[in-house]
Amino acid sequence: MEPMTARSAEHDARADLISYLDFHVEAGVDAALDERPHDRFAEAEAAAQAPHPEPAPRREPAPRSEPSARSEPSARRDAPSGEGAPLDFRRELPSRDPPPREPPRTYGNAAGAKPGEAADDARARAAEMNTLEELEALLRGFEGCSLRFTAKNLVFADGNPQARVMFVGEAPGADEDRIGKPFMGRSGQLLDRMMAAIGLDRTMAYVSNVVPWRPPGNRNPTPQEIAICRPFVERQIELASPDILVCLGAPATQTLTGTKDGILKARGRFYPYRLRDGREIRALATLHPAYLLRQPVQKRLAWRDFRMLKSALDGSALAK
Ligand code: URA
């Protein structure tokens, strides 16, 4: 047998590193959150050993989703990702790092602002936008949600803003982030087929998401991130002014209709949705295409919902 050369050792080390990276990507860890690696175990150990001159401040318990929401099917599994509460352990660890460089890598809340303040700021600024183009430009410059720092692109909308029907999903995935448009991956292809089944395509529908930036690793957006982004999607709905809103999945349904019901209970119903100009439109809750990809047997429920949508749209032109 040949003795192991330096070159073959290097080759093996490289192959090990590549398979280690592949493992992470498969596990959904596919976004770098900082330019430097952090050894969180070492940090935790150092923190535990460091003297505490003052009693540690009491920590708020991590926000929990409603039991009804927790038991609901999660739509965000186009790529492998964790379900339920995001694994956001970086907030739990006292940091010994120097202050972050620009842009700040806060997780889930506004750069330098408390989440509530960021949501108020978002609402005030969104309200001043008079066109969808202005709103998109505002979002391009908005730094109040740290998802924008990990995302490659803003994912604002696709389709026809003049359409009478608007579909709203949860948040972009990897394909959408790369392309900069919503529903471009496998979920998007299924959505297109569902629309085609009732005679719609993207020239006859407007498509968007509650959160316009991809959460890293396809994790679920946190309640704080949703709260910060919500004023933008609400303004987007007002400016597009569709006759019918279709909420795809539990997060969009709960965010836009206010229901606490899980999606299997909420779906197949029209909810009143009031625009700021006083006009009341209808919001139909249905299952998210990503969920249907995992549970194809549930497509029959979605089909019922889409038939309701078709009946609601029938008898009138699809473009305003
Ligand atoms: N899932 C969503 O909720 N939105 C997208 O744009 C893609 C997948």
Ligand 1 atom showing the smallest separation from residue 181 Cα: 6
Q: Percentage of the chain with pLDDT > 70?
A: 67
Residue 294 CA to ligand 1 center (angstroms) comes to 15
**Ligand 1 residue neighbourhood (C-beta within 6 Å):** 78, 169-173, 176, 182-183, 187-188, 209, 290
Give the pLDDT of residue 318.
Answer: 47
Confidence of residue 85 (pLDDT cuts 50, 70, 90): very low
* Global model pTM greater than 0.75: no
Rounded Cα gap, residues 206 and 192, in angstroms: 12
Residue 105 CA to ligand 1 center (angstroms) comes to 24
Give the pLDDT of residue 117.
Answer: 86
- What is the tens place of the pLDDT at every residue in 26-63? 444 555 555 566 666 676 677 677 765 444 333 333 33
Give the pLDDT of residue 186.
Answer: 98
Domain spans in the chain, listed from the N-terminal domain onward: 115-319
Q: What number does CATH give the domain 115-319? A: 3.40.470.10
Ligand 1 atom showing the smallest separation from residue 175 Cα: 7
